[in-house]
Structure 1
Amino acid sequence: MLPTQLWANTRRSIFTASLPKNHENPLGLPLNNNRVPPQIPRRGPISGGLPAKRKIPNVKHVVLVSSCKGGVGKSTVATNLAVSLSLLPQRLRVGILDLDVFGPSIPTLMGLKNVEEPGLTQAGALIPITNHGIPTMSMAYLLPPASQPSSSPTPNSDSEPPTNEDTPVVWRGLMVQKAVQQLLFQTDWSAAISQNTSPGLDILVIDLPPGTGDIPLSVGQLVDVDSTIIITTPDILSLSDVRRGVAMFRKLEMPLTGLVINNAYFICPNCSERHYLFGGNPNDERNMFAKGVKAMGMGGDKIVGELPLVVDVGRGGEKGVPYALSGRGVLGETDAGKIWQEVMKTIAERIWGELRARTVK
């Protein structure tokens, strides 16, 4: 049993509402007195609950890419989706926001490893960094390169030196929420567009981290989202996590465009047949995976694409060149590569079609 005074101090330190000053501006952006920073107020009669969802400045449409499961290729799909949207005949202006604060991978996938820290506008907003014609913003751009441990291999080793993506972000939930709000509302997407007409983005693709924690919850509560794409691999283990994510988005009343099955099947180069390596054939009603997809209401036309397993997709990501860009018109393309590109194009067309329909309404 703790003494009365010690317990009172402990309880005060755990449940106190006061916050250190550095929690208010974890990204270290210059203070802007002309704009009230976004807040997540407590529920109650004083605050009246959560604020109304709002648009991200200089962004017409927001598309979320989520999976709630790590290692399913979510960031790879998000990157190639952004490229595919930009390649549509409408010549859309598309950007990518990497909100995976603890494990950012967009810089690697976009060929932006170890870039210089992003600049700031006169108002103190972050200026996105552009490559392949796609402006991007990521937590990794704001971190210093990870230090080389003393026990690491010698410089002559084949291993790559640490990058800013290797630097760990060791933050508690409140600092993460504040950083996410700054990335969302204090990034000037119009500063990355060189065209003189309609400054800003037509579509911002947001790459969400796995899970149903602070970051996706903050986005769902604060941002007016137009479309959500759920990524899964064709196995029951992945689907069990995806099911929780779908339930979360529905609870937040966010629009669900549909499900993308990554690495859905493998096309044999000799027999040209589809082989469902993980057993998850969504078209087979007797399949457990297909039953799970149907049970969570994401079957039928909610399956917006089945991406085949293509080795060059991963290789392109490692080199920083999205396959949707590098694979176009390459001689000697495999049938699987052509199908992959067509499916990704179909997904982009489906999303853009729904965005236009929402605008008309």
Structure 2
Amino acid sequence: MAVKEIMDTLANQTVANKKLSELVKDIRLVGNVLEVIFMLPDRTLESEIREKAMQALKEVEGIGEVRVRFADMTPPPQQSPAFQRRRLPGIKHLIVVGSGKGGVGKSTVAVNLAVAFSKLGYKVGLLDADIYGPSVPTMLGIKNQKVEVDAFQRIIPIEKYGMKVMSIGFLLPSEDTPLIWRGPMLMKALMQFLFDVKWGSLDFLVLDLPPGTGDVQLTLAQTVEMDGAIVVTTPQDVALADVKKAVVMFKEVGVPVLGVIENMAYFVCPETGNKYYIFGKGRVLGFAQAYGLNVLGSIPIEPEVSETSDTGVPVVESYPESASAKAFLNIAKIISQELERR
């Protein structure tokens, strides 16, 4: 039984001029017990949604029991002045790249997406917010460089491939130096990287988040005005389980999710040209549809991607005719067009 089948079934039922599929927040299947969590736009509709969902889903083959729950859609309390969101001066669009899980290629996506924006003619900045594991300096071939400050004590970012780049890696004595910081110090550093760096005027500032849904993500969401989040995942269920948490977190803190990028989607055999879906096929699309998101693009498994990340020349720059580079450029076009329409 696929998520798509469940969503298609719910799409046939409407409540208050809305398809039931549009109100789904989460779907969970344990054995033959299906639990569907709906957003509740109006409490007076609870009984009608429950009745129609139960009636429709009990006809789906393979389901033994249907449970319907509702998520609280009460508007969050008004933010206090201490958590007033600020827009970065001079930055037209601030985009965050997150994953909810490590090891899915989030930083690789963030770096190549930033380079793709630059290739399209935009003025771009890239902020490595993964304080404990900064990898952006290595991926851009600038890991031994150090930043300076101007007369106003503003940090001058490093420039590479036409972009302005900032990372904690530029402040450490060496790449082997560990950061043993508690939360308050980490948050202070992030705020400095955002507001005390001489970014100038930028069309896009791409922010590479650390994995997970912890203090960094929540603090940024409370203090900085963001134009959207991009979620990176691989096709495995173990990755999607954590990515779901990231999507829900972004939505709950009021950050619009621009879409999902499927990394390591498939491998093309160089000898035969055949596609092999090593980690599975269709799961990311089903997940995106269940959460009302767009799949912005699929990045194949290509040796050039990892090789160029290690050598400091992103694949968009070093192999512009590769399938991966073309995918990143297409994703950048989709995002820029979407944000320009707003």
TM-score, normalisation: structure 1: 0.71
1:53 alignment partner in structure 2:
85
Match 1:73 to one of 98, 105, 110:
105
> Which one-letter code corresponds to 2:317 in the other structure?
L
Identity %: 41
Would the alpha carbon gap of residues 230 and 48 (structure 1) be closer, same or farther in structure 2, given more than 3 Å must change?
A: closer
1:86 alignment partner in structure 2:
118
Task: Please list every run of at least 4 consecutive aligned residues from structure 1 whose deviation after the TM superposition is greater than 4 angstroms.
Answer: none
Taking the aligned partners of 2:292 and 2:324, their CA distance within structure 1 comes to 25
1:354 CA drift (Å)? 1.5
Query: Tell me, which stretches of 5 or more residues in structure 2 are unaligned?
Result: 1-76
1:252 CA drift (Å)? 0.8
1:49 CA drift (Å)? 5.3
Taking the aligned partners of 2:307 and 2:235, their CA distance within structure 1 comes to 21
Q: Give the root-mean-square deviation of aligned CA atoms.
A: 1.9
Match 1:107 to one of 117, 137, 145:
137
1:246 alignment partner in structure 2:
247
> Which one-letter code corresponds to 1:100 in the other structure?
D
The answer to which structure has the higher strand fraction is 2
1:203 alignment partner in structure 2:
204
Q: Which structure ranks higher in relative contact order (CA pairs < 8 Å, sequence separation ≥ 6)? A: 1
2:197 alignment partner in structure 1:
187
1:355 to 2:339 alignment? yes
Taking the aligned partners of 2:325 and 2:334, their CA distance within structure 1 comes to 14
- Work out whether residues 320 and 326 of structure 2, in 8 Å CA contact, stay in contact via their aligned partners in 1: no
Query: 1:1-361 maps to which residues of 2 (within 5 A)?
Result: 48=80, 50-88=82-120, 91-116=121-146, 118-145=147-174, 164=175, 166-190=176-200, 200-279=201-280, 281-282=281-282, 290-298=285-293, 302-328=294-320, 337=322, 339-358=323-342
Once the two structures are superposed, residues 36-62 of structure 1 have per-residue CA deviations (whole angstroms, 9 ceiling, x without a partner) of: xxxxxxxx99x9354332211321110
Taking the aligned partners of 1:231 and 1:48, their CA distance within structure 2 comes to 32
Once the two structures are superposed, residues 282-322 of structure 1 have per-residue CA deviations (whole angstroms, 9 ceiling, x without a partner) of: 2xxxxx55544433333xxx001011101011100100001
Taking the aligned partners of 1:254 and 1:182, their CA distance within structure 2 comes to 21
Taking the aligned partners of 2:286 and 2:335, their CA distance within structure 1 comes to 25
TM-score, normalisation: structure 2: 0.74
Taking the aligned partners of 2:239 and 2:284, their CA distance within structure 1 comes to 10
Taking the aligned partners of 1:289 and 1:95, their CA distance within structure 2 comes to 29
Taking the aligned partners of 2:312 and 2:225, their CA distance within structure 1 comes to 30
Matched residue of 2:149: which SS? coil
Query: Tell me, which stretches of 5 or more residues in structure 1 are unaligned?
Result: 1-43, 146-163, 191-199, 283-287, 330-336
Matched residue of 1:257: which SS? strand
Taking the aligned partners of 2:331 and 2:217, their CA distance within structure 1 comes to 22
1:209 CA drift (Å)? 0.3
1:123 CA drift (Å)? 1.6
> Which one-letter code corresponds to 1:297 in the other structure?
G
